[in-house]
Amino acid sequence: QVQLVESGGGLVQAGGSLRLSCAASRRSVSPHAMAWFRQAPGKEREFVAAIRWSNGVTYYEDSVKGRFTISRDSAKNTVYLQMNSLKPEDTAVYYCAAGWVATMSDQNDYAYWGQGTQVTVSS
């Protein structure tokens, strides 16, 4: 069993920045990929960004390209999401996910999930 613990959410004004962190509990586990998804009130959970653990290749949802950066620290088994130029429409609960996936943006491919962290962007 892999536990994912997220941190770094909060309230920020539009145009501001936040950095989310997600630490995996088992150092012996090297997932194929780790990712961030988000769910806004009244909406379905959606893909934000993912990173392939072995080589660091990244994937982004179109609306966050150029503003968000996903990265990993293999030694700490931790993935980060640096969010810049935040917009009110980025407001959501952000979830970290890990697993051995076929499609990086498909949440059904991820076996492990964090508890979520709230990000609120005020206008």
**What is the per-residue pLDDT across 25-39, written as a single tens digit (0 to 9) for each?**
865 556 789 999 999
7-21: pLDDT as tens digits: 999 999 999 999 999
SS3 labels along 30-42 = CCCEEEEEEECCC
Sign of CA dihedral 15, 38, 59, 96: positive
Dihedral of alpha carbons 105, 107, 109, 113, sign:
positive
pLDDT, tens digit, for every residue of 36-76?
999 999 999 999 999 998 889 999 999 999 999 999 998 88
